[in-house]
Amino acid sequence: MTVEDLQEMAEKEQTRQQQIKHRILYCSAAGCVSCGSHGTRDALTKVIKDAGLEKECEILGTGCMGLCGEGALVKIQSDDTLYQRVDESVARRIVEEHIVAGRKVRENLIDQTAPFFAAQVKIVLENCGRIDAESIEEYIAAGGYDALAKAVTELQPQEVIEEIRKSGLRGRGGAGYSTGLKWGIVRKAKGEQKYVVCNADEGDPGAFMDRSVLEGDPHRILEGMAIAGFAVGASQGFIYIRAEYPLAIERLRLAIKQAERLGLLGNRILESQFNFRIDIRIGAGAFVCGEETALIRSIEGRRGRPRPRPPYPSEKGLWGMPTLINNVETYANVSPIINRGSAWFAAIGTPKSTGTKVFALAGRIRNTGLIEVPMGIPLRKVIFDIGGGTPEGTEFKAAQTGGPSGGCIPAQFLDLPVDYESLATVGSIMGSGGMIVMDSTSNMVDVARYFMDFCVDESCGKCIPCRVGTVHIHGLLDKISRGAATTDDLVLLEELCMMVKETSLCGLGQSAPNPVLSTLRFFRNEYEELLHQPEVFVPSGDGRDNPSNA
C-alpha cells in the first residue's frame, strides 16, 4: 500500500459513510456492555429490520462515550443526539420515533451542552465513541495513519523526535518525563536491536483510561508506536497488557491483523524502508509489572521483579537492548502532534504541562465516567462542573489521584490547577489518571488502610523496606482503626513511612506510604480521634497510688 492508496481508501470510506442516512452508534466499552448494551444492539437491529430500514441505517459499536454511569449509551450521528439508559424498549422507541418520525425521545436525551461535555477538550479520546472500534477503514477515514505516512515519507527520525520534544509532551504514566528527550536517548543508545514497548498494565485500582482508549481506538496506539519505532530506530514493538482486559486484548489483536494486511505494520511500511512489527504480551496480575524494569522482566517470561536503575531501559532494557517504554496515553498523543504540529499541541494546557489529560472519574460523585480536560484546569471545575459534585446531602472531602502511589487533595485546594507540578506541591501526583472522589461519608484512616492493604499484597518481596515495612504500616493502621493505638504509634507510623519511602528499591515501595502521609497531613484529626486516650492519672503525692511504684 502506498500513501496514495491510503488517501484513496479514506475518501472511499468517507463517501460510503455519507451515503448512509442514519449511523446509529452504541457504546461497546466495558461499562456499557455491563449495562447490557449488547441487548440494546440486538433490539436496534431487530426493530430496524422489521421496519425495513436496513439500507438507510448502520449500527456500529464504538469505544467509550464518556458518561459510564448512565449506560447503555446510544448516539445518532446524523444529528448528534446522545441517549442514556437505553434498554430494549427505549431502543424500539428511538427507531420508531427518532429515525422514522423525526421526534427525539425526550426522556432519555442527554444534554450535550451540559458542562460535562462542554468543559472537555478531546485529543486522545477524539475517536472514542465516534468510530467503529473494530474497523480500520473507519479509522483511516477519520485521518488515521496519516501521521505515520507523513513520518515515513516526509520526515527524518530526528525531525520526528524534535517535533515531539517541542510539543512539550510528557509521559502520561504519571512520572511526567519529557517524551521527546526519552526518544532522543533511545535513538542515540547503541544496540543492534531496539525495542518499543507500550505499557498497558493499568494496575491502579480505580483507573480505566488506558482500557477505554485501547478498546475504543486501538489503531491510534499502533500508529503511535510505529511512529516511535521509526523515530528511535526500532523494528519490534510489544504491548504489555493486563489479562483483566479481555476485550481490549481482542480488539488489539484484530487491529494488528488489519494493519498488517494493509501493509501499515510489518515489512516495508507504506513502501518505505521502514519495518515494524507489534506483538502482544499479556500480564498475569502483578501491580509491580507497571514499573518499567519489572515489566521488562515479565515480557522476558520471568517473575516481574524490579532492578535498580541506572542503567535505564532506554540504554539496557529488553534482553539488554535499548528499549523505549511509554504509556498508552502517551502513544495516543503522538499522531495528532505529527499531524497538526507541535505548536498547536503546546498551546493547549500550561507552559510546563502541555496538552490534555484523561481522567477516570469515580467514587462519590454524580457523573462517573471518562473525561479529558486541558492541563491546568482547576480541580473545582473537574469535580463540580464536569463531575456534577458529590451526591445530594454530602459534602466534598477529598479527591484521590495517583492510586496507591498518590495522595488525597482536600477541599482547601479545590482551586489548584491540575498539572504535574501543582499536584506534587500538595503531596499527590498526577498518576496515570484515576480520580476517586470522597465525601463526608468516607473515613480517611480506612482509605489509607485500604491502599496499604493493596501494597502489602502487591509488594514483590525483593527489597526489605517494602516487603516488611508495608506489613508493619498496615498493622499500625489496623491498630489505629481498632482504637488501640497511642500517640507513640502515630509517631512510629510517620517514621516508618519515611523509612519505606526513602529506602525502597522501586517506585512501588517509594510511593507506597504516600496515601498514609497525605491523609496524615490533611486529616490528622481523624487519626487522633481514634487514638486510645489513657485515663488521666493524677499522682496524689505520697507515691502509694502510683501503679508504677507498686
List residues binding other proteins (CB under 8 A): 30-31, 33-35, 67-69, 71, 202-208, 211, 243-245, 281-287, 298-304, 360, 362-364, 368-369, 400, 403, 434, 436-438, 442, 447, 450-451, 454, 460
C-beta separation of 220 from 337 below 8 A: no
* Cβ proximity to other proteins, 298 vs 335, nearer residue: 298
**Sign of the C-alpha dihedral, residues 109, 27, 364, 501?**
negative
* Cβ proximity to other proteins, 330 vs 400, nearer residue: 400
Tell how far CA 267 is from the center of its chain. Answer: 31
Nearest distance in Å: CB 299, other proteins: 8
For 288, the 3-state DSSP assignment is helix
Nearest distance in Å: CB 316, other proteins: 17
Q: What do you get for the CA distance between the two ends of the chain, in Å?
A: 93
* Cβ proximity to other proteins, 302 vs 524, nearer residue: 302
Nearest distance in Å: CB 39, other proteins: 12
**Residue among 474, 475, 477, 431 at smallest CA distance from 454:** 474
* Cβ proximity to other proteins, 33 vs 140, nearer residue: 33
Nearest distance in Å: CB 101, other proteins: 32
Nearest distance in Å: CB 110, other proteins: 14
Nearest distance in Å: CB 174, other proteins: 15
Q: Determine the Cα–Cα distance for residues 18 and 444; give it in Å rounded to an integer.
A: 53
For 310, the 3-state DSSP assignment is coil
For 172, the 3-state DSSP assignment is coil
Nearest distance in Å: CB 325, other proteins: 17
**Residue among 496, 290, 503 at smallest CA distance from 405:** 290
Residue that has been written with the C-alpha cell 507515691 in this structure: 543
User: Interhelix angle for 444-458 vs 464-482, to 10°?
Assistant: 150
Q: Determine the Cα–Cα distance for residues 358 and 377; give it in Å rounded to an integer.
A: 12
Q: What is the largest CA-CA distance in the chain?
A: 101
Tell how far CA 63 is from the center of its chain. Answer: 14
* Cβ proximity to other proteins, 72 vs 338, nearer residue: 72
* Cβ proximity to other proteins, 249 vs 496, nearer residue: 249
* Cβ proximity to other proteins, 360 vs 505, nearer residue: 360
Q: Which long-range contacts (CB under 8 A, 24 or more apart) does 261-269 make?
A: 262/1, 262/136, 263/1, 264/1, 264/136, 264/145, 264/148, 264/222, 264/223, 264/226, 265/222, 265/226, 269/148, 269/152, 269/226
Helix ranges (H only) for 66-174 are: 88-93, 115-118, 136-141, 146-154, 157-167
Nearest distance in Å: CB 30, other proteins: 6
* Cβ proximity to other proteins, 152 vs 249, nearer residue: 249
* Cβ proximity to other proteins, 147 vs 444, nearer residue: 444
Nearest distance in Å: CB 207, other proteins: 7
